[in-house]
Structure 1
Amino acid sequence: MKEVYYLVVPEGVNPVKPYAVLSLEGDSGSNPWKGLRYLFQIRLYVSKINAPTSELDFLTTSIANSLDKQLLGDEATSSRVAFYQGQVGTDIVDDERDTIQRNLQLSVLSPKPLAELTPITSDPWLTALAAWTRQALEADWSVYGGNWPPEPKTPSILWRITEMDATPRGSSAYELQKKATAFIQAKDSNQEHVALLQLVEGLAAAVKIPIGAGDRKFVRVITPQVNTRTNASADGYAATGEGPLTVTLSRRVTSLADEAAPPLMQFVHYESHI
């Protein structure tokens, strides 16, 4: 390339061939938790003289080899990855500019993590479930709670509380239940299936999981279940949805204020019969 321009060739400039014009076509914009996918068009211009098709083929191959699946910028500060999408349309002959034009498409992924990695301090139940999971699986598994870190390890498991419910039991007691779901990032489907079996069998056999240190508090394990109908795209990055494994934890408490994460009001329904 002799020159590369953004959007248009500046007025009054007679570019030296071959040159390219880069333009942004748009971005995904609809999934901020997953990051943005930018679409770029690269317009190549070569002279009509001296085998222009061969020159265009050479430039196209060079761009694909240089940019496809490559990290853009410094690896320590940038996480943008380029993907070559191929040629768009057919070559265009421009007799006025004495050029042949070829349009290529490039996508650039700019992931934006949901949250930074922080200790789980807001919910002792989630902390206890994560600790139990670390003991139940092999040492090479990483376990997270709440949200994925910016760069989760593989293999790893994310536990998230998806539902909470409090039922009165007498005048001063409540049955507090929290439903947790697990998302798994494994090297392959076999490793994921083995982990699922270990966890569901371990949870069923555990009956109770201790919470806190030395205070003999427990939560009961209720209905651990593998979700065979879970959407295959559920990966734990969305704020809602269930993973391939769910479990309900239960505990009787005398005061909801004593729990770190009491259930919140989800909705109020009113129906008038007037």
Structure 2
Amino acid sequence: MHEYEATPDENTKVEKSMARQSQHASAGCAKAACCRMRQAFKQKLIEIVPALQGRVYDVQPPSQTAEEPYAVMALGEEIWKSSWAGYRQVVRIKLYAGQAGLAQADVWANALIAGLHREPVTGQGEDTSAFTPHYLGVRDAEKLDTVTGKAYRTLRFGVYVPETEGSSAIPTNGAAQPDEWLAALTRWTQKQLGETWLVYANAWPAQPGRHAVLWRLSGCETRMAGASMYELRKRFIGHIIAPDSAEENRAASALVEGFATQIQLPLDQDKGRYMSTDEASADLQADAILDGQLRLTLVQRRMRPAEEAALIRRVEIHPVLK
């Protein structure tokens, strides 16, 4: 995963200004989600490791002599990633096993990774919001607290908080509608994968579900196809998320094969309008949230509109006088 870095090119000043406005608009949503996220994480930690009941602290334990075992949870860097993924909130967890030793901390760490990685973390009571953590790994898994002299095991998770936090990514009446081709592509994908999958356009919602696909428009161009015709080409990127990478790979392969078997995708069947698949590929090693595994190019040939010209009413030919 790559961190966001602004380029110094003068030509990107307007682009960066628009990005900052978008970041500021969704900052309030990200902060509101952090409060719910903190409580939901604590509940999930205790559910996975019952020995931590009443011993999960924020940032640091209440005193240096706190009775072990216990865990310390802190929200780390909050980084803007993209318009379709939003922010990535890092959550750090430190496990202090005490006399049980780091071997016991390793057992708890493995249980937490298995129970949190790609698994929905849902709040209790009236809080029905859900977050899906992704284990990010750490440079130094084991460290010594220089203040207390206690050894601890570190875990690091990332949670994506989209711009659409608190609302749906599916457009409603009055909201900006997706590109016509993009809407047709999402319908086709839903038909290919079935009802167990959710398909979105443009950006991830706050709660995408365990099996979800996101399509977004990445570029478009035109090419001349003759004196009276031209080609309109649009490039799309597809993101696939599932509980494990094997399911993601199967879905990606099924979609790529589907594009090969059905060359023309319906745009408006009643009017006989279709778009053709020019190229479809899958990078199964790509990051599902940020980069997307699928690359798709769709093409449609269109007639060039006829230009109006003056009509010739009469032609007179005069003999050439010598």
Question: What TM-score bracket applies, with the shorter chain setting the length?
Answer: 0.5 to 0.7
Q: Which one of 234, 239, 249 corresponds to residue 299 of structure 2?
A: 249
- Answering whether residue 89 of structure 2 is matched by residue 39 of structure 1, we say no
Please say if residues 180 and 247 of structure 1, whose CA atoms lie closer than 8 Å, have aligned partners that are also in contact.
Answer: yes
Q: For the residues of structure 2 that align with 1:150 and 1:8, how far apart are their CA atoms?
A: 29
Residue aligning to 1:77: 129
Query: Could you say which structure has the higher helix fraction?
Result: 2
Deviation per CA, 1:29-76, whole angstroms, max 9, x where unpaired? 3636362223244567x6xxxxxx34x569848965996535485372
User: Which residue of the partner structure matches residue 218 of structure 2?
Assistant: 162
Confirm or deny: 8 A CA contact 1:3 1:16 kept in the other structure: no
The correspondence for 2:170, drawn from 91, 115, 118, is 118
Q: Secondary structure at the match of 1:29?
A: strand
Mark the CA change 1:127 to 1:18 in structure 2 (over 3 Å): closer, same or farther. closer
1:149 aligns with 2:205: yes
What fraction of aligned residue pairs are identical, expressed as a percent?
17
TM-score by length of 1: 0.58
Equivalent residues in 2 for 1:62-101, closer than 5 Å? 64=109, 69=115, 71=121, 73-74=123-124, 76-77=128-129, 79=131, 81=133, 88-89=142-143, 101=150
Give me the whole-angstrom Cα distance separating, in 2, the residues matched to 1:243 and 1:19: 41
**Cα separation, 1, equivalents of 2:275 and 2:64:** 76
Q: Quick one: structure 1 residues 73 and 242, their matched pair in 2 at CA, closer, same or farther if it must change by over 3 Å?
A: closer
Distance 1:5 1:244, change over 3 A: closer
Query: Per the alignment, do residues 154 and 196 of structure 1 end up closer, same or farther by CA in structure 2, a change over 3 Å counting?
Result: farther
Structure-to-structure mapping, 1:170-189, within 5 angstroms: 175-185=231-241, 187=247, 189=249
Within 5 Å, which residues of 2 pair with 1:178-257? 178-185=234-241, 187=247, 189-202=249-262, 204=263, 206=264, 209-211=266-268, 214=270, 216=271, 218-227=273-282, 230=283, 232-235=285-288, 237-238=289-290, 243-252=293-302
CA contact (8 A) 1:137 1:198 kept: no
1:102 maps to which residue? 151
Match for residue 128 of structure 1?
Answer: 184
Letter of the 2:216 counterpart: R
Contact 1:219 1:251 in 2 (8 A): no
Cα deviation, residue 177, structure 1: 2.6
Instruction: Output the CA distance in 1 between the equivalents of 2:233 and 2:256.
Output: 22
Distance 2:211 2:182 in 1: 19
Contact 1:141 1:156 in 2 (8 A): yes
For residue 164 of structure 1, give the secondary structure of its aligned residue in structure 2.
Answer: strand
Q: What SS does the aligned partner of 2:161 have?
A: coil
- Which structure's residues are more often strand, by fraction? 1
Which string of whole-angstrom CA distances, capped at 9 and with x for unpartnered residues, describes residues 150-180 of structure 1? 3334544333222112457899986433223
Whole-angstrom distance in 1 between the partners of 2:71 and 2:190: 52
Unaligned runs of 5+ in 1: 47-52, 256-274
CA RMSD, aligned part only?
Answer: 4.7
Q: Alpha-carbon deviations, 1:173-212, whole Å to 9, x = none?
A: 864332233333462534542332123211x2x3x6333x
Residue 206 of structure 2 aligns to a residue in which SS?
coil
Residues matched between the structures, number: 230
- Which residue does 1:27 correspond to in 2? 77
